[in-house]
Amino acid sequence: MSFSSKNRWWLLGALILAGNGLSQEKAGPEFPNVEVQVSFVRPGELKAVATDATSKPGVQPKFRFGKGKSTWEITWSFMERSDFGDMYKFTRVGPPEAREREISQRQVIYTGRETVIWQDEEQRIVLKPRPTPEE
């Protein structure tokens, strides 16, 4: 099969446009309506708080929780949409009053179901579907 020079440029242009369309198709999260939920699991104190984790362009989401000197902070960002799910990067910063401030990062793939980000003897932090408002 032989292509003239003009036909090759058309073919190349079509391939570039098709590639751009595919990359734009995967630009945002597949599962956009999500929330971060923090459950405190200390003995005698089971409590949960949540915040909207919906990804918004140009916004660095931040969530602070805890009491007084034991306040924690979580930040996150949507990284990319893959064939396996939506990839998020989370950073958790421990209490500012602690001797050694704890900083940890996790990357998780969210597939539309509750996904554990961190869990220890005091906290359970998950990414989960945001409840839809009842109509």
Interval 63-94: pLDDT, tens: 888 877 788 899 999 999 999 999 999 999 98
Q: Quick one: pLDDT at residue 74?
A: 93
Alpha-helix residue ranges (DSSP H) falling in 4-123:
5-25
pLDDT along the chain (135 residues), means of 10: 53 51 63 90 74 76 84 91 93 82 92 94 90 70
- Residue 70 CA to chain centroid, in angstroms? 24
Facing residues of 64 across strands? 73
Pick the closest to residue 118 from 81, 82, 76, 56 (CA basis). Answer: 76
Pick the closest to residue 130 from 29, 17, 24 (CA basis). Answer: 29
List the end-to-end C-alpha distance of the chain, in Å, as a whole number: 60
Q: Indicate the pairing of strand 115-119 with strand 103-110.
A: unpaired
Q: Quick one: pLDDT at residue 135?
A: 44
pTM (predicted TM-score) = 0.72
